Each structure stands twice: as C-alpha cells, then as structure tokens.
Chains A and B, each alone.
Chain A
Amino acid sequence: MSKKRRVDWTILIFFWIISALGLLTLAGIDRSLFFFKRQLIWHCIGIIALTLTVSTVTQKQLKEWSPIIYVVMLGALLLVLLVGKSSKGAQRWLAIGPFRLQPSEFAKVSFALTMGSVFEWLTEKERIPLGFTEVIIVLAMAFPMFGLVLIQPDLGTSMIFILMALTASVVAGLRKRVIILGLVAAVAVSYFGWTHVLKEYQKNRIRAFLNPKKYKTTIGYHVIQSRIAIGSGRLTGKGYMKATQAKLGFMPEKHTDFIFSSFAESWGFLGSALLIMMYALFFTRIGDLAKKAKGLYEFYSIIELGSIFFWHAFINLGMTMGILPVVGVPLPLMSYGGSAVLASYLNVACILILSKGD
C-alpha cells in the first residue's frame, strides 16, 4: 500500500521492441534515412510526453478531464474540416508550426477514455448486458467522431471508433435481440453506406479487394504488389536492405500503411511470425493489466485503449496480406507518421497511469 508509483515495464518492453523493428525497417528501405530520422525524433518526443504524463497525471485527473478532452478533440476534428491541410484527396491534418498533426489519432485516445466513463456508468446502473437504449447511448457517443472522421474522408479510422465501441460492448455483454438486430442493421448500414456515403475511391478499394486480379494495374495494384513483397520474402527473407519490392518502388506506401510488407520482404516468415507474436503478447499484456484494474473506469478504459492497438494491427496486417480491404489504417508503432507515434505513446501512457496503483 505504498504510494510508490509502479510502472508496468513489460508492456513498455513489447512497445519498444515493436517500435525498434519499425525504425529498423524504415532505415532499411530508404537510403537517405529521411523517414527514419523523422520517426526517431517523434519517438523521442513520444518518450518525453510519456514520461511527463506518467509522472504528473493521476488516474483521477485523467478521468475528470476526459470529457473536456473529448470536447476539445471534437473541436479539433471540426477545425480540420474547416482549415485543415489536405493531401491525396483527404483533409486530415492540422498544421501547427512545422508539424502537421492528425487530430483523429488523438481523438481515438480521448474516445477510449470517454468510453471508459460511459461503460462504468452503464455497469453501475445495472444496465448490462446492453439493451437497445444502452447501445444507442454508446453509439451516440461514438457517432460525432465517427462522422467527422468519415467525411474527411478517412474510412479506416472512422471504422475504428465503431469497433472500439463494439469491443467494450462485447466485454460488457449484449442482449441476444440486440445482436440479431445489430447484424440486420449492419447489413442495412453497409448498403446505405455503399450507395450514399462512400467515395468512389473507397468503393474501388473494396471492389479491388473482392477481385484484385481484375484491377491488377490500377486500384488492385497496391494489394498485389504488397502480397508479392510479403510472399517473396519466403521463409527467411531477402535480407536487410535487400527488399527489392520496397526499395525499387514497386510497392506504394512502403513506409506508411504497407510497412509490414517491407518488413516481411526483408525478414521472411520468421520475421512476420516474430512481429505477429510480439503484437499478440502486447495485447495479452494489456488484457492482463485490464484484468488487474481496480475500478470499472480503469477496467473499461484500458480495454478501449488496448483495442485501438488491436484493431489497427489486425486491419493493417489483414489488408497488407490481402485478406481485408485496403482502408488506409497505419500499423501501430511500425508505420511512419508522427501523430500516430505520439498518440501511441499517449495511449500507452494512459494505460500505465490507469494500471498502476495510486
């Protein structure tokens, strides 16, 4: 019962092992080390942010501030749509000085903390397993962020919000009728989404996923080249810095969304297996931390924070290997991207704060 703050080093070790693999891959595919250097700087910023946060912020403060952060993040997302920088047809970035920040990355963290409160409240009010009303409350919390990100447009990230809500709901339990109706609603929403919401390029990605050979040189190109890269690594890989698919530019987005392909090309199946196991251990550890949580808020928040990593990894790896549509979700800790790195550090900082004894 000492007041000593104990940090869970295990999770940080997994976190840094994966980050190191990411940095190694970045250095290996780009001779000028441009991306590697910038990513390294972001990691340094992340470590500072982590240290500051963990040493100053308490669980109580985190819980109290989460609604405010949620509102601030909503404002930021709104701001992105109004004055944001656009790139490749999507408006996702806010320019702050020399940096470009992607508020949606941070919105996910704040959403996780908010969800913690919502589920804590639902559980305390004996409203689990969730009925219709409860589901609507949860979705109502998710919808503003989901909507604001979807119209950027960023299909992948917006889906994450829904999946996060779903994760906590599954843990809390759902009534049978809700599950049935939910499936029906999912079909309906998919249909409506296809006809009214999705942009043509997003639809094309899904078409290409369903039939990659037909779109071999056009929109299916990403996935096919990515599969070639991964497959050509064979068992032991082509060797570090010898990833021809990535280095010679056959694979687009080799340092961001498709970094796993670059990694797998260099290190082969042994490398892929190592990375996948690292992620799995990372998630299991987060689950263990949630299980040790003292209160309901901490319990749900850690689940939600962990689910961000889980869904990102799962969707990204799935899409690079061609078993999920290309929706543009980065691979946490591996993909190049400052906001994502920083958000990951804040995420893990929150997990550490919530899991340690106060």
Chain B
Amino acid sequence: MPLNREEKFRQLKNRLLKVNRLASLVFILVLLGTAFRLQVIKGNYYYEISNRNRLRTYIVYPKRGEIFDREGNKLATDRPSFDLLIIPYYFYKGWKGKIEEHPTFKFLVDRLHIDPDKLKKKLKKYKRRPFDQLLIKKDISEKEMAMIRSLQWMLPGTYIDPSWIRVYPYGKLFAHVVGYVGEASEKQVAKGLRYPGEFVGKTGLELEYDDELRGIGGWERWEVDALGHRIRIVDKSIPTKGKDLVTTLILPLQRKAAELLDNKTGAAVAIDPNNGEILAMYSSPSYNPNLFPGGISAKDWKRILKNPLHPLNNRAIRGTYPPGSTFKTIVAAGGLAEGKITPNSKVFCPGGMKFGNRFYRCWKKWGHGWVDIHKAIVESCDTFFYDLGLKMGNDLISKYAFMFGLGRKTGVDLPGEKRGLVPTRKWKKRALKQPWYPGETLSYAIGQGYLLVTPLQLAVVAAAFANGGYLVKPHFNLYHHPPKKKLNLPKWVIEKVRRAMLDVVEDEKGTAHYTARIKGVKVAGKTGTAQVVSSEIEEKYKKGKKITVRKFTEHAWFIAFAPYENPKIAVAVVVEHGGHGGSAAAPIAREIIREYLHYKGIIK
C-alpha cells in the first residue's frame, strides 16, 4: 500500500510536469504571439491611430481681405470676436435622455437663444465625428462669455476661441455690391474647397472675389487628452491674411444714390464712360448685411424673405425691365446707320399710328406734328419710331440691341447678373411657339413688350453714347482694366444721337428739361417709361376680388451722361412705379451727376 501510494504520487507529479509545461507553453505562445502581432507586425498601424487619437489639428482662420472704396474707406472689414465651440461627444457621453433635455443643450437654447432645431441638426451631423469642434455661436457678447466661463463646470466640452468676424461699417449702403459672408456650406467643406466653419462670400463682391479675399488658413496641432482638452501645442502654421480688394466705388456718391432712392423701389448705376469703372451702384430697398456673418436669426430671415419688395435682390444687375423710350436711342442709331432714315427724314405724328386694325398711340395724344429724328428723340415721339420700327423690322432692331450689349451679360464682376432679353424672331418661336407679329415690332421699337434690360446694361448704353461709340465692360476692381469695344457705327450716327440726347435736357421741349438740367454743365440723357403688368394687381385677381384698379404699372427710366463735351459719368436710374421717366428718375440721375461733378471739382 505505501509503495503503491508512492508510485501514485510519482505519477501525479509527472502529470503535473506535463500540465505545467503545456500551460507555460500555451501561455507564452498565445500571449507572446499576440503581442508580436500587435506590436511588431501591426505596430505602425496602431502607432498612427494613437497619433490620430492624441493629436488634433485646429484651424486658425486667416483674417479675410478687406474691401475698400476708391479712397480707402472700409466697406468690409474684420473685427476680432469670440466664438463658442463645443465637442459634441459630451452630449452623448453618459446621457441617455433626449438631446433637448440635456442641461448643456438647455443652457444654449435658453440663455444664448440658439435655435433648438438647428442645433439639433448640427449635433446629429456631428454624431459620427463626436470629437470634432463644432461652432455653436459666432461672436458671443462679453456677458455671454462671462456666463459661459462661470458656468463652465456644468457645460463640459464647451470652449471659447478667438476668431474674426466680418463687419460692414456702412451697413445697407453697399449691401448689394459688397454682399455678405456666411459659414461655408457642407458641400464646399466636403469637396475640400473651404475649411469647416470658415467664412465664405455668399453674394456680391464677397463671393466674386472669395478666392482672393479668404487668405490662407493656418493650423495648430495640439496634443489633446481623451476628453479633447488641449494639453500642449505640438506644431503650428501661421495664417496669411487674404488679399484686399480696392473697388472703383465712391462713398459720397453711393451715399447720395442711397439717399435719393430712399423710400423708393429701384436702382441707380453710375459708371465712368471712359473705362467702365462703376462709381456707384445702389438697389433699393436694401438690407443690413451685418445680420449675416454671425448667423442670421430665424426672425430676421423671415422678415427679409416676406418683404414683397425683395430687398435681397440687386435690381441693378438682376432687375429686368422693358427699357421704354430709352431704347429709342439704339433704334435711332440703327436706323441711321442702316440708311433706313436720314437725319432729315420726317414723319407726321397725329398722336399715334394705325397699324392693322389697331391704333398705336403716341404718348402725346394731340400729336407732335412733323417730326425728324432729332425731335423724335428730344420729345420722345412714339409715332416716328413706330414708323422706323416697321422700316427696320425685328432683325435689324435686335442686331443693334445686341450691338449695344443688351440681351447679354455685361460681364461685371458680380455674381448673379441677369442677361435680360432681346426678343428675336427665333426666340419667340422657341419660347412662345409663336411667329413674330408685325404689330409687335411697333412696341419693340419704343422699348416695350418683351424686351428686358437691366439698369447696368442701360448705363453701359449711356456710356457708349457718352464716349463716342465704345462698349465698356463695367467693373468694380480698381486694378482691372478690361478693354473697351469699338461699336461698328459711323461716328456721325453716334454724334447725331448724342446731340439729340443733349437737347432732351437742354431744349425747352425736351422731356427732361425741367428735371435733369444742371446749371453750369451740359447734361445729356433720355427718359423712358416701362409699362409692365403689375404683379400686385394680378394677386388681387387670384384672391377672387376682381379689382381692376390698374392693369399696368409704369417704371420710370432715365439714362444720362455729363458733361456733354467731355463725359465723366454715365448714369442709369430706374424707379419702380415711378410713372413717367422725366418726373421720377431724372432728378435722381441729376443729383448723382451733380454730386459726382462736384466731387471731381468740375462744378462748385
């Protein structure tokens, strides 16, 4: 028995030896093998991940280039601001309830008045990247900053970062030209064109010159802890300020235009006829661009959108109206150049013209009597141009309309320009599936009907007559010198129309004699009245209230240049619902010209 017992114990010990060896072997093979795989084979991969964990790159936004007027007044500039950012991780860490009930969320909504729906959307978007920096509010006030800092303990993950905010010192004065900036869209960020949270131009010069203005962003690489707190800076690159933009605008002139168009709807454009520099461009009503950079509130946005006058619309380049009688200058030039009339051709105006079975009225019911081209422009006789229109036909009128740059973009350095419309026969066939009726040529010749132009286009037309037949390219960038195009017209034709435009103002019978004359300087111009179907009245129809108050509304036009001998400025003004051109638009043009000539020292 004892022997047996000893033998058994020996066996057991041998078994133990085997088990022990096996266990140690498995222990070493499995664990050392795994460690080898993780640390040696996949080591570099994990090392990269740990660096990605550890290092976070923060964008340092560059200062955006400033926009100046001709004299160095700042139209758009940057001001340092404090932005509130958050790391969304904290919204989800340890929080199982609804987002809306999160104390941090509540604080942001209740105390900082952040739109809860927008915030929720933003947070949702960032749910997959919970450690990214999320811009909550741009440019917080000192009070808000104090509140956030003192309540930091209950707002984990929030932090305040210095940055820049765009400011427009002149507010609504340059809104349509300069435009405004806003946070880069998700598309731009996704495509890698812009940094997240970067300010980008949304409209106007801010958009047009965005690439130059934005500058080059810098970055700071920070070592962060697991909660995203910055521990120390590892590496950085300093941002470069964007290029400044000096424009051709003139602050006092712009101010004058805004003053004149106050409480009116319309637009005014003033350009230098010799080179196309835009001296002033104002569209009324305007809006306050300072509402946008910090993120416009829902209330303000709604108010702007609901305004029936559409203040965001830049009427100077996007408002299209029939040019009315201002178009006669082009038709006259065309008629003379083509030889359809001579300077001495006369037409008798009995107050209108019968064509087909319709009587086309001249604006002067009792007629102008015998009219030649000069008188027809000075007194704006419709009958003469009905006759001329019939002689020329659609094709020739369209040819000269195109020649003067209508129906095409002027190529101004502003986004969103409209091309207007030159109603060729081809166009009518394509768009309306109808042939061109001869009667329509009559309306066409006096600038009514389908023809649509923008105020900027007419300013270019005025400039063309001013500079003796060159089509300029209007532009805002002072350092751009786009070439001007010589019009294919004999010099005497331009001279003839110019002469007539002078008498529109100078002649006692001229349509703008009492409204556009400036003492001491010769002004040339042309009035116009655009007749269009009023949208307001149409709406009333829709509502079932059959009120036929006025089927048409009349927009007043005036194009002008001065001084006659050596033109320095060309102007186009449109006033919506302004009635006849002479009365509503001409005084505005006159004051703009007076201001500019005063500014240039030509008149006292």
A249 at the interface (CB under 8 A from B): yes
Q: Is the CB of B40 within 8 A of A280?
A: no
Q: Is the CB of B46 within 8 A of A248?
A: no
Tell me the chain B residues, 8-63 only, with Cβ under 8 Å from chain A: 8-9, 12-13, 15-17, 19-21, 23-24, 27-28, 30-32, 34-36, 38-40, 42-47, 49-51, 53-54
Give 1 or 0 for each of A334-351: 1 = CB within 8 Å of chain B CB: 000000000000000000
Q: Is the CB of A234 within 8 A of B43?
A: yes
Tell me the chain A residues, 309-338 only, with Cβ under 8 Å from chain B: 310, 313-314, 317-318, 321-323
> Contacts A234-B44, A244-B54, A248-B226 hold; do A280 and B16 have CB atoms under 8 A apart?
no
Tell me the chain B residues, 421-457 only, with Cβ under 8 Å from chain A: none
Q: Is the CB of B47 within 8 A of A283?
A: no
Give 1 or 0 for each of A218-251: 1 = CB within 8 Å of chain B CB: 0000000101111111110000000011001111
Known: A290-B13, A299-B16. 12 other contacts (CB 8 A): A230-B39, A231-B47, A232-B47, A233-B39, A234-B39, A234-B43, A245-B50, A250-B226, A268-B39, A269-B39, A310-B27, A317-B31
Tell me the chain B residues, 207-247 only, with Cβ under 8 Å from chain A: 223-227, 231
> Contacts A227-B46, A314-B27 hold; do A249 and B39 have CB atoms under 8 A apart?
no
B130 at the interface (CB under 8 A from A): yes
Stretch from A166-174, A196-204, A207-215 contacting the other chain = A166-174
Q: How far is the CA of A272 from the CA of B46 in the complex (A)?
A: 16
Q: Is the CB of A310 within 8 A of B23?
A: yes
Q: Is the CB of A287 within 8 A of B17?
A: yes
Residues of B with C-beta under 8 A to A249: 225-227
Q: With a 10 A CB-CB cut-off, give which of B16, B45, B227 has the most chain A CB atoms.
A: B16
Tell me the chain B residues, 50-81 only, with Cβ under 8 Å from chain A: 50-51, 53-54
Measured CB to CB, the closest approach of chain A to B24, in angstroms, equals: 5
Measured CB to CB, the closest approach of chain A to B565, in angstroms, equals: 77
Measured CB to CB, the closest approach of chain B to A291, in angstroms, equals: 5
Q: How far is the CA of A231 from the CA of B34 in the complex (A)?
A: 10
Residues of B with C-beta under 8 A to A10: none
Q: Is the CB of A232 within 8 A of B227?
A: no
Residues of B with C-beta under 8 A to A310: 23, 27
Count how many chain A residues have C-beta atoms less than 8 Å from C-beta atoms of the other chain: 49
A279 at the interface (CB under 8 A from B): yes
Q: Is the CB of B130 within 8 A of A217?
A: yes
> Contacts A250-B226, A291-B17 hold; do A244 and B31 have CB atoms under 8 A apart?
no
* Chain A to chain B contacts (Cβ below 8 Å), 8 pairs: A228-B53, A250-B50, A250-B226, A265-B50, A269-B39, A273-B32, A277-B28, A283-B20
Q: Is the CB of B9 within 8 A of A234?
A: no
Q: Is the CB of B35 within 8 A of A264?
A: yes
A296 at the interface (CB under 8 A from B): yes
Measured CB to CB, the closest approach of chain A to B587, in angstroms, equals: 68
Q: Is the CB of B226 within 8 A of A171?
A: no
Give 1 or 0 for each of A256-291: 1 = CB within 8 Å of chain B CB: 000000001100110011001101100110010011
Q: How far is the CA of A197 from the CA of B404 in the complex (A)?
A: 89
Q: Is the CB of A287 within 8 A of B39?
A: no
Q: Is the CB of B15 within 8 A of A272?
A: no
Task: Using CB atoms, name the residue of chain B closest to A235.
Answer: B40
Contact of A171 among B19, B32, B34 (CB under 8 A): B19
Q: How far is the CA of A318 from the CA of B225 in the complex (A)?
A: 26
Q: Is the CB of B16 within 8 A of A231?
A: no
A101 at the interface (CB under 8 A from B): no
Q: Is the CB of A250 within 8 A of B16?
A: no
Measured CB to CB, the closest approach of chain A to B398, in angstroms, equals: 66
Q: Is the CB of B34 within 8 A of A248?
A: no
Q: Is the CB of B27 within 8 A of A231?
A: no
Q: How far is the CA of A258 from the CA of B111 in the complex (A)?
A: 42
Q: How far is the CA of A227 from the CA of B47 in the complex (A)?
A: 10
Q: Is the CB of A231 within 8 A of B8?
A: no
Residues of B with C-beta under 8 A to A109: none
Task: Using CB atoms, name the residue of chain A closest to B131.
Answer: A217
> Contacts A250-B226, A284-B24, A291-B17 hold; do A230 and B30 have CB atoms under 8 A apart?
no
A113 at the interface (CB under 8 A from B): no
Task: Using CB atoms, name the residue of chain A closest to B13.
Answer: A291
Give 1 or 0 for each of B539-583: 1 = CB within 8 Å of chain A CB: 000000000000000000000000000000000000000000000
> Contacts A249-B226, A284-B20 hold; do A269 and B36 have CB atoms under 8 A apart?
yes
A303 at the interface (CB under 8 A from B): yes
Q: How far is the CA of A295 from the CA of B109 in the complex (A)?
A: 76
A123 at the interface (CB under 8 A from B): yes
Q: Is the CB of A250 within 8 A of B35?
A: no
Residues of B with C-beta under 8 A to A269: 35-36, 39-40, 43
Task: Using CB atoms, name the residue of chain B closest to A232.
Answer: B50
Q: Is the CB of A232 within 8 A of B13?
A: no
Contact of B27 among A171, A251, A264, A283 (CB under 8 A): A283
Q: How far is the CA of A322 from the CA of B42 in the complex (A)?
A: 14
Q: Is the CB of B130 within 8 A of A230?
A: no
Measured CB to CB, the closest approach of chain B to A265, in angstroms, equals: 8
Q: How far is the CA of A277 from the CA of B29 in the complex (A)?
A: 10
> Contacts A248-B224, A269-B36, A283-B27 hold; do A232 and B20 have CB atoms under 8 A apart?
no
Task: Using CB atoms, name the residue of chain B closest to A249.
Answer: B226
Residues of B with C-beta under 8 A to A284: 20-21, 24
The 4 closest A-B pairs by CB, nearest first: A231-B46, A287-B20, A232-B50, A234-B43
Task: Using CB atoms, name the residue of chain A closest to B11.
Answer: A173
Task: Using CB atoms, name the residue of chain A closest to B89.
Answer: A217
Contact of B54 among A248, A280, A317 (CB under 8 A): A248
